[in-house]
Chain A
Amino acid sequence: MSKIAEGLLYSESHEWVKVDGNVAIIGVSDFAQSEMGDITYVEMPDVDDEVEAGSDFGALESVKTSSELIAPVSGKVVARNDELEDKPEMINEDAYAAWIIKVEMSDESELDALLNAAAYAEIAK
Chain B
Amino acid sequence: MENLLKKTCLHDLHVELGAKMSPFGGFDMPIQYSGIIDEHNAVRRAAGVFDVSHMGEVFISGPDAERYVNHIFTNDIRTLEPGGIMYGMMLYPDGGTVDDLLVYRESEPQHYLLVVNASNIDKDYTWMLEQAKGFDVRIDNQSDAWGQIAVQGPEAEKYVCGTLGFPEAAALTFYTFLDAVRDGRRIIVSRTGYTGEDGFEIYAAPELIRNYWNLLLTAGVKPCGLGCRDTLRFEAGMPLYGDELTADISPIMAGLGMFCKLDKPEFIGKEALVEQKANGTARKLVGIELADKAVPRHGYPVELEDGFEVGVVTTGYHSISLEKSVCFALVDSAYSALGTPLWVRVRKNAFPGQVVKKRFYQTNYKK
Count residues on chain B whose CB falls below 8 Å from chain A CBs: 18
CB neighbours of B35 from chain A (8 A):
37-38
**Does B294 sit within 8 A of A, measured CB to CB?**
yes
Bound-complex Cα distance A56 to B227 (A) = 27
CB neighbours of A66 from chain B (8 A):
295, 297
* B318 near A40: Cβ-Cβ < 8 Å: yes
**Does B37 sit within 8 A of A, measured CB to CB?**
yes
Q: Which residue of the partner chain B has the closest CB to A56?
A: B347
Bound-complex Cα distance A37 to B227 (A) = 10
* B347 near A68: Cβ-Cβ < 8 Å: yes
Bound-complex Cα distance A81 to B317 (A) = 24
Interface centre among A56, A64, A68 (most CB of B within 10 A): A64
Interface residues of A in 37-56 (CB under 8 A from B): 37-38, 40-41, 43, 56
Interface centre among B31, B227, B295, B317 (most CB of A within 10 A): B295
Interface residues of B in 14-41 (CB under 8 A from A): 20, 31-32, 35-38, 40
User: A14 to nearest B CB, angstroms?
Assistant: 17
If over half of B's interface residues share one DSSP class (helix, strand or loop), that class is named, otherwise mixed; here it is: mixed
User: A122 to nearest B CB, angstroms?
Assistant: 22
| A63 with B320, Cβ < 8 A, contacts A37-B227, A38-B35 known | yes
**Does A61 sit within 8 A of B, measured CB to CB?**
yes
CB neighbours of B152 from chain A (8 A):
none
* B347 near A63: Cβ-Cβ < 8 Å: no
Bound-complex Cα distance A13 to B5 (A) = 28
Binary flags per residue of B295-311, CB closer than 8 Å to A gives 1, else 0: 10100000000000000
A37-B20, A64-B31, A68-B347 are known contacts; what are 13 more A-B pairs with Cβ within 8 Å? A37-B32, A37-B227, A38-B35, A40-B318, A41-B293, A56-B347, A59-B347, A61-B294, A61-B318, A63-B37, A63-B317, A64-B227, A66-B297
Pick the residue among A41, A56, A68 that contacts B318 (CB under 8 A).
A41
Count residues on chain A whose CB falls below 8 Å from chain B CBs: 14
* B294 near A43: Cβ-Cβ < 8 Å: yes
**Does B195 sit within 8 A of A, measured CB to CB?**
no
Interface centre among B20, B38, B318 (most CB of A within 10 A): B318
Bound-complex Cα distance A40 to B347 (A) = 17
User: A35 to nearest B CB, angstroms?
Assistant: 9
CB neighbours of B227 from chain A (8 A):
37, 63-64
* A41 near B36: Cβ-Cβ < 8 Å: no
CB neighbours of B297 from chain A (8 A):
65-66
Bound-complex Cα distance A65 to B231 (A) = 12
CB neighbours of A59 from chain B (8 A):
347
| A63 with B294, Cβ < 8 A, contacts A38-B35, A38-B36 known | no
* A41 near B295: Cβ-Cβ < 8 Å: yes
Bound-complex Cα distance A66 to B296 (A) = 10
* A41 near B294: Cβ-Cβ < 8 Å: yes
| A63 with B318, Cβ < 8 A, contacts A40-B295, A43-B294 known | yes
| A38 with B37, Cβ < 8 A, contacts A61-B295, A63-B317, A66-B297 known | yes
CB neighbours of A41 from chain B (8 A):
293-295, 318
